[in-house]
Chain A
Amino acid sequence: MRPLRNVIYVQTQNSWLHKDNENLVLKVDKETIARIPIHKLQGLVCFGQVSVSPYLMAHCAENGVTITFLNMFGKFLARVEGPVSGNVLLRRTQHLAGNSSESSVNIAQVMLTGKLYNQRYVIRRYLRDHGETITDKKVLFDLQTAEKRLSRCLTQITDCTTIDTLMGREGEAAQVYFGVFNHLIRQKDFEFDIRRRRPPSDPVNALLSFCYTLLIHDCRSALETTGLDPASGFLHQLRSGRPSLALDIAEEFRPLIDRFVLTLINKRQLVVKDFETWPNGSLTLKDEPRKTLLAAWQDRKQDTILHPWFEETVPIGILPWLQSQILARFLRGDCDSYVPFLWK
């Protein structure tokens, strides 16, 4: 298996990154804070006021290290990337498949199957770990019902023949799943009502949105590495500037993020006062807690998990890369279907 290289998140404001021989050097106020060999890196993500020397950019580009610039709130600004792999045959096949509604539905269906399966796992896992300690009968009933309804949604997904109906089923499943999400939160100062994206106006939604951004970044890099075009998706419609395929393959991993967020909250690694409220009602993490979150995310990516299709235990961080490979192999005709990552 491919060794998992690290993604470095730089969020110290006014820091300066440059290249010294084969190393990346991070300086703040002229003082060297870190020095990392570039060959150990997979990506570099800069939040806010972070400057990067052109020589470092060139060196990263040459070595397949993607640099992403996000604003303070994690909104995508720009990306520096080396020449895309000349995998023109694969990209053409991908575009042709994207143009055919039949192939698009097939692939999207499998991806959503993975998502629902993994959503159901989040609930099952909670019932398994905490089922006996749930004293509130209604909570237990709600969770059990949601688990059953998700099973039904899973079967219905398999019968869909258009992207629209798939999206409809996915929406129903999301309602079921997020309808009981609050039951999974064991710190009652964190209230979750509904999933709200723009702008996230409660801590749970803010955390979910922020972590999904990190996930999509990783999915995008994985697709680039595999030679697929991240902008051309099957489930998500094409829209200029949108990494549709990265959003597509991120679907099956969202439940993993949800559980990661639940763990952060339930273990009180983050608390409500770690968030800052803005005049438009949106919430963001303050600097220090964000560092805590990014460190936890890095650790999480090193944890291993069983990939049932490969029948191998792999670091969580390489899952997007493995799924990109399966997708590429399917598009090239090496196997008869795309298979999602199933969380077991």
Chain B
Amino acid sequence: MKTMQNLEPIYLSRLQHYLYCSRQFALIELEDVWIENQFTAEGQVLHQRVNLADQQKRGDVRTVWALRLSNIEFGIEGVADVVEYHRQEAGIEIPYPIEYKRGKPKTHRADEVQLCAQALCLEEMHGVDVTDGALFYGEVRRRHPVHFDAELRNLTIEIILACRAIVQSKVTPKAFYEAKKCNGCSLIDQCHPERFRKSASSWLAAQLKKD
């Protein structure tokens, strides 16, 4: 694979935006559109606890908070909420990423993809295989283990490449209105997915003809 080290990195947290909606990703990445809504604010409160870089050792487990990650091959970077390093008998430490999420486990795979991308970073940084991690959901207050199998890895890489393609083309995908998705989207007031479906010029012509 062609190395992406000369490219502007894509932030890990943006991958889930892409999974939600490719246009949402582009609005944030290319257009700097960002509206702080209740959800993002809540997310930040939850994150504050894990935002300070720190580490602690207990027995065979070293826990690191707010660890900066990157993967040069794919041109991604970000911060892991928590990485546990589990010490093996051979003396090597195997990273185990844990990501904190507001709410409860979701039906789509956005959270898993983000976590898997962290695993790709950790693998490149430490030269070891990272096979497992976990998502911690604030609402149910429980760890939800994630196994990085071939399917999840392929999906993750596919998403990274798709994001990269948008960044390079600098073109925001057109809005595609889907009630369930768009009504839950914090960017709906900037995106106006329904309005921009109609042709502006024929609308205007019709208005002028009317009276």
Contact = CB atoms under 8 A, between A and B. Distances in A.
Given A87-B31, A89-B170, A337 B189 contact: no
Interface residues of A, number: 31
A112 to B, nearest CB: 12
A227 B32 contact: yes
B88 interface: no
Nearest to B193: A334
Interface of A: 1-2, 85-87, 89-90, 110, 113, 117, 154, 158, 227, 308-311, 325-326, 329-330, 332-340, 342
Contacts, number: 54
A310 B204 contact: no
Interface string B171-211: 11011000000000000011010011001110110011000
Nearest to B171: A333
A334 B203 contact: no
B190 to A, nearest CB: 7
B189 A335 contact: no
B30 interface: yes
B172 A334 contact: yes
Interface of B: 30-32, 170-172, 174-175, 189-190, 192, 195-196, 199-201, 203-204, 207-208
Contacts of B207: 308, 342
B200 A335 contact: yes
B172 A325 contact: no
A332 B31 CA distance: 10
A117 B196 CA distance: 22
Contact of A113 (B172, B189, B208): B208
Interface SS majority for chain B: helix
9 nearest A-B residue pairs (beta carbon): A337-B201, A337-B200, A335-B200, A339-B200, A334-B196, A336-B201, A335-B196, A87-B32, A85-B32
Nearest to A154: B208
A311 B171 CA distance: 27
A339 B203 contact: yes
A340 B204 CA distance: 8
Given A336-B200, A339-B200, 17 more contacts: A85-B32, A86-B32, A87-B32, A89-B31, A113-B208, A158-B208, A308-B207, A309-B195, A309-B200, A310-B192, A311-B195, A326-B200, A334-B175, A339-B203, A339-B204, A340-B204, A342-B207
A1 B201 contact: no
B174 A334 contact: yes
A324 B170 CA distance: 21
Contact of A338 (B189, B200, B208): B200
Contacts of A311: 195
B193 to A, nearest CB: 10
A108 B74 CA distance: 44
B208 A329 contact: no
A332 B192 contact: no
A87 B200 CA distance: 24
A170 to B, nearest CB: 16
B38 to A, nearest CB: 13
Nearest to B174: A334
B31 A337 contact: no
A337 B196 contact: no
B203 A309 contact: yes
Nearest to A340: B204
21 contacts: A1-B189, A87-B31, A113-B204, A113-B208, A158-B208, A308-B207, A309-B195, A309-B200, A310-B192, A310-B195, A325-B190, A329-B196, A333-B171, A334-B172, A334-B174, A334-B196, A335-B196, A335-B199, A336-B199, A337-B199, A338-B200
Contact of A330 (B31, B200, B203): B200
A332 B208 contact: no
Contact of B192 (A117, A329, A338): A329
Contacts of A308: 207
